[in-house]
Chain A
């Protein structure tokens, strides 16, 4: 009986201890799960961002990041709809110069100055290039951490150029001559990417290289100046060497034209340089080279990580997540896919030697031009670029199209209360 009691007593104690242990373990597990933060990120789908999303997902312990990546146009729609309805379904997002300015003016983004000051030393935040930080700022406040600087470079088929004894053009006269010399039924003299926002990017180059840009400091249109008209006339003249259907070509289609050996030269985003040498996609591996666009003035943007004002997550943790993702080590690793935004990485001699486009990157960035820095530019550009497109395709004479666009832009900006 005694033995039985002891046994019963012992079992009972063991059971109690076991139960307590299980409870403690459960409580610990529950606590750990309770500390886990679920974060939703939305961004554009391209190789460099896919790399940074992987880093984002492993940047901080106990932070689980769900990423939704999509093409640029639906991304902007999703962000605009979600943020304008004050919804907290997006925590962190990818922005660029245009969206950061627009969203910040609408009060949809969390200002980061306070967090930058707090975590400056821990994450070496002074290391970010000033130009990149200015892209992430609006109205004197910082709204994002720059992931990558992006610009357009002039991609060209080195083998075709050498076969014709041509050198990469440094002026528009040379560009037109080279496009004409290399144009054939199977290879387009130059790609032109004019679908959607493409006309904004391509037009930006012509208007800044040959014209006076889009708007002056007072937000008055200058794209229809004499020089602006000449710039768009030049753009129009190059359409004769562009591939058929160029107005329906977005970035993907133009990249495929290069990869399939159907284009001799043209503007390509820096983030697409790696795609030219992809074994599974490209027929021209090692044959594409890059040069700074003639006369500069091509678009320079910074893609930026930003935090939604309406996120219900801990904003300090979200900031640390972004800062940890953009560490110097990660930027060095991602340098093959995109232009880093940290000075220490940009100046890394090993990287300069490893990536051939680095040689043209610095002069290209030096001569590039950012979009006009006012919140309504993104919206007003819809009416303006439509007229540029009409001018380029010959639907309307260039001067008439640009003058009409200028009138419409002024009406639009007046309605928005931009002119006081």
Chain B
């Protein structure tokens, strides 16, 4: 036994060499920019300035004291929470529907998945032309029924709704696919046992299916939370942050700081703050879902 262990050890050691290229890529293109952003966040630095000036935590204090940051955070949270709730509910319903289907599930899942394959900015441009006032497709269809269409992009409430619709249309298929994959791996004996005990559809979903899907739910919520927080393309194309500042999110403000005000120090600071918020929220979801099973992750 001792000799076989000794033979295995050098082999395992040599395998680490295969990790080096991936590790270098991760360090180079993921970790380095994050660390550089953290570094820049402590400097007063705008594009064109010859030398960055160290200001310590001033950028953080200045941004946390701005109404604009809190307003854009509030907008972001409302958009993320609404999109996530609708996407999860719709995605679960679609996944359950596909799970129930005896024929054509693969075809339906492929068709439903199509919006997810479209580049977000292209999808947003497509929706822009649908929701354009007076000459857009949505207006034309609604007006043909002699109904005056709503102000899709010009009213704060409708602009919110339009952005949520855009997000839901594009990302519900992703939620559906992950949950459907989870359902495929579920032990059907549990469902049978539940039915024998007299559980109806909603009770089966609540007491058996959802607990079984917990890892997939956690995964999908965490990924969508991170993605939704970073959403930029659809808001930039559809509303540009308007009407007024009604749909200005943290990423829109970060973009304005970096590319309009050319203030890289503060843009980095806001990027770091956003990263901290998303990390905190993701950890919160993990702890909520696994509060009774510490150490599960």
Bound CA span A77–B263, Å:
13
Pull 6 A–B residue pairs with CB atoms less than 8 Å apart, ordered by A.
A244-B133, A245-B151, A246-B154, A247-B242, A379-B263, A383-B261
Q: Is B246 in contact with chain A by the CB < 8 A criterion?
A: yes
A386 touches B245 (CB 8 A): yes
A106 touches B48 (CB 8 A): yes
Contact of B262 among A80, A186, A195 (CB under 8 A): A80
Size of the chain B interface, CB-CB below 8 angstroms: 30
Nearest chain A CB to B235 CB, angstrom units: 11
Contact of A245 among B46, B152, B260, B263 (CB under 8 A): B152
Q: Is A188 in contact with chain B by the CB < 8 A criterion?
A: yes
B48 touches A395 (CB 8 A): no
Binding site for B on A (CB under 8 A): 76-77, 80, 84, 102, 105-106, 185-186, 188, 194-196, 243-248, 250, 253, 256-257, 260, 262, 379-380, 382-383, 386, 389-390, 392-395, 412, 415-416
Residue of A nearest to B239 (CB): A248
B135 touches A262 (CB 8 A): yes
Nearest chain A CB to B112 CB, angstrom units: 29
B44 touches A188 (CB 8 A): no
B135 touches A256 (CB 8 A): yes
Residues of B within 8 A of A412 (CB): 261
Nearest chain A CB to B256 CB, angstrom units: 6
Binding site for A on B (CB under 8 A): 44, 46-48, 131-135, 148-149, 151-154, 159, 238-240, 242-246, 256, 259-263
Residues of B within 8 A of A379 (CB): 46, 260-263
Counting from the closest, the 3 A-B pairs by CB-CB distance are A393-B244, A106-B48, A247-B242
Residues of B within 8 A of A244 (CB): 133-134, 149, 151-154
Residues of B within 8 A of A195 (CB): 240, 242
B242 touches A248 (CB 8 A): yes
Bound CA span A246–B243, Å:
8
Residue of B nearest to A259 (CB): B135
Bound CA span A109–B245, Å:
35
Contact of A84 among B48, B151, B240, B244 (CB under 8 A): B48
Residue of A nearest to B262 (CB): A379
Nearest chain B CB to A44 CB, angstrom units: 16
Residue of B nearest to A194 (CB): B242
Residues of B within 8 A of A389 (CB): 242, 244-245
Residues of A within 8 A of B151 (CB): 244-245
Bound CA span A84–B50, Å:
10
Residues of B within 8 A of A382 (CB): 256, 260-261
Nearest chain A CB to B153 CB, angstrom units: 4
B154 touches A188 (CB 8 A): no
Residues of A within 8 A of B154 (CB): 244-248
Nearest chain B CB to A201 CB, angstrom units: 14
B133 touches A245 (CB 8 A): yes
Residue of A nearest to B154 (CB): A245
Residues of B within 8 A of A80 (CB): 47, 259, 262
A260 touches B134 (CB 8 A): yes
Residue of B nearest to A80 (CB): B47
A196 touches B240 (CB 8 A): yes
Nearest chain B CB to A42 CB, angstrom units: 16
Residue of B nearest to A185 (CB): B148
Nearest chain B CB to A233 CB, angstrom units: 16
Residue of B nearest to A199 (CB): B242
Nearest chain A CB to B242 CB, angstrom units: 4
Bound CA span A138–B239, Å:
34
Nearest chain A CB to B126 CB, angstrom units: 15
Known: A106-B48, A379-B262, A416-B46. A395 touches B134 (CB 8 A): no
Residues of B within 8 A of A250 (CB): 240
A247 touches B134 (CB 8 A): no
B46 touches A395 (CB 8 A): no
Bound CA span A105–B256, Å:
21
Nearest chain A CB to B291 CB, angstrom units: 41
Bound CA span A416–B152, Å:
39
Residue of A nearest to B47 (CB): A84
